[in-house]
């Protein structure tokens, strides 16, 4: 069997690419489906799930992503190889409508083999969450920022492109069966391993019309997806966020971030709270001692934690429906080496005294602070269904940075 294509038959390399691609696709699609179904069950508060369920979903997603990235590179290599080869002619070229449909489906397949894994890969790189790609080359992509909007957009595109891939794959298989069973020609046999005795194809002319038709179909799918709301903003957690009242403070927070970092399957996942208030009193003493106080209230439902946001809001974790806010009431102290906030932190129904060391830069009436402390989630009854660190680490790093201005009124 020759390695290269001829006008009437496919070579060994093309056949290898074809069947390897088919194997990878038929592996990736069910892996993604089963992982997605299991994830929906995990996020459903009416279904009891265990730590093993979460770990199983993560493994399935990791395998799906890894196979998907492999599809991308195999498809890229396949396309580059095809550009160097003769394209065997269609055996049914005399049947113009059928030949047009076949070529259109081929364009849809080639495009989908690139667009489906690429959109999924960009989604993975843009999102904060679990289920890493199983390879040693990192989880990020150049020029792809961590962005909830981009992750949401590419997730929607990935789903729509999968529909195109599934439809074109089904048509491709049905067409091959029709050639083999009904027409009884050599269309399928010439792609099977070994030497084929395919006849010389009839004279034919290839045009750009099938490629344009494929582009039209992709456009129609995108417009249809937009019409039914696929691209609507779904980035907010499916819970109500507590509305926080304005607070009176000697120091008004002008800007700042309050974030947490967890360890999911030994990979860090960072998220931030969009809504929180801080009532601050502070006078910098000349010597170590009491310097003021702070009262911080956090809207739990405003947390964005990538792909695990909904899970974090669930009853076994923050339980934002029953405990919509967290609070930190502390006294501020100047120490020999810096500053500390000391007081009770209340999350869910648990209060615990903590110490938050922080740095402070005072410039006239502007203060810039940065602090970090480490908590154990089990101390606050968060994630008790996961009593080990197999899927979710015990440690939670809380980081805060803010700039405040002294209120002169």
* pLDDT value at residue 237: 44
281: tokens are: 């009193």
DSSP code per residue over 191-212: GSSS---PPPPPP----SHHHH
pLDDT in tens, 147-185: 888 999 999 999 999 999 999 999 999 999 999 999 888
Rounded CA gap, 323 and 110, in Å? 50
14 to 121, 170, 202, 210: CA distances (angstroms): 25, 21, 21, 21
Number of domains in the chain: 2
Pairing mode of beta strands 366-376, 276-282: unpaired
Residue 243 included in any domain: no
Residues of the chain with pLDDT under 70: 43-46, 48, 196, 233-240, 409
Rounded CA gap, 319 and 32, in Å? 28
Rounded CA gap, 210 and 219, in Å? 14
User: Do 73 and 221 share a domain, yes or no?
Assistant: yes
Q: Give the residue numbers spanning the domain of 98.
A: 12-227
pLDDT in tens, 333-359: 999 999 999 999 999 999 999 999 999
Residue 233 included in any domain: no
User: Do 294 and 212 share a domain, yes or no?
Assistant: no
Residue 29 included in any domain: yes
**Runs of H (alpha helix) within 178-295:** 209-227
CATH number of the domain where residue 344 is located:
2.40.128.110
Q: Where does residue 163 rank: exposed (0-12), middle (13-18), buried (19+ CB within 10 A)?
A: middle
Residue 154 included in any domain: yes
Domain-ending residue, one of 195, 227, 259: 227
* pLDDT value at residue 67: 97
User: Which among 379, 316, 387 is positioned nearest to 346, based on CA atoms?
Assistant: 379
User: Do 51 and 99 share a domain, yes or no?
Assistant: yes
User: Do 288 and 200 share a domain, yes or no?
Assistant: no
Task: Determine how many CB atoms are found less than 10 A away from the CB of residue 57.
Answer: 24
Rounded CA gap, 372 and 399, in Å? 4
Q: Using an 8 Å Cβ cutoff, are 353 and 343 in contact?
A: yes
User: Do 196 and 256 share a domain, yes or no?
Assistant: no
Rounded CA gap, 30 and 32, in Å? 5
* pLDDT value at residue 94: 85
User: Do 21 and 118 share a domain, yes or no?
Assistant: yes
Element holding 255 (H helix, E strand): strand 251-264
């Amino acid at each position: 069997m020759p390695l290269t294509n001829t006008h009437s038959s496919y070579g060994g390399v093309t056949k290898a690419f074809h069947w390897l691609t088919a194997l990878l696709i038929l592996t990736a699609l069910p892996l993604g489906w089963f992982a997605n179904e299991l994830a929906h069950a995990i996020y459903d508060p009416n279904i009891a799930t265990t730590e093993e369920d979460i770990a199983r979903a993560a493994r399935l997603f990791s395998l799906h992503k890894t196979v998907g990235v492999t599809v991308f590179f195999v498809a890229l290599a396949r396309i580059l190889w095809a550009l160097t080869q003769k394209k065997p002619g269609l055996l049914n070229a005399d049947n113009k409508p059928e030949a047009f449909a076949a070529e259109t489906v081929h364009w849809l397949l080639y495009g989908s083999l690139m667009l489906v894994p690429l959109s999924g890969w960009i989604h993975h790189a843009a999102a904060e969450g679990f289920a890493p790609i199983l390879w040693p080359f990192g989880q990020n992509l150049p020029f792809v920022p961590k962005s909830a909007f981009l992750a949401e957009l590419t997730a929607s595109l990935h789903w729509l492109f999968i529909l195109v891939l599934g439809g074109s794959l089904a048509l491709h298989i049905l067409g091959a069966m029709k050639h083999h069973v009904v027409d009884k020609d050599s269309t399928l046999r010439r792609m099977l391993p070994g030497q084929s005795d395919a006849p010389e194809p009839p004279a034919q002319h290839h045009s750009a019309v099938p490629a344009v038709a494929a582009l039209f179909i992709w456009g129609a799918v995108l417009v249809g997806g937009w019409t039914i709301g696929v691209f609507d903003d779904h980035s907010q957690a499916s819970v109500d966020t507590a509305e926080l009242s304005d607070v009176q403070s000697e120091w008004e927070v002008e800007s700042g971030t309050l974030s947490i970092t967890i360890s999911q399957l030994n990979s860090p996942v960072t998220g931030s709270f969009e809504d929180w208030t801080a009532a601050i009193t502070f006078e910098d003493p000349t010597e170590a001692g009491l310097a003021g106080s702070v009262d911080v209230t956090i809207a739990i439902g405003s947390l964005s934690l990538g792909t695990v946001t909904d899970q974090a809001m669930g009853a076994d974790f923050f339980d934002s429906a029953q405990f919509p806010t967290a609070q930190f009431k502390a006294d501020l102290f100047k120490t020999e080496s810096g500053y500390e906030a000391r007081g009770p932190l209340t999350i869910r129904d648990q209060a615990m005294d903590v110490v938050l060391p922080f740095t402070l830069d005072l410039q006239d009436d502007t203060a810039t602070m940065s602090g970090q402390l480490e908590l154990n989630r089990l101390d606050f009854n968060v994630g008790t269904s996961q009593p080990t660190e197999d899927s979710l680490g015990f440690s939670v790093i809380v980081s805060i940075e803010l700039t405040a201005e002294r209120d002169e009124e």
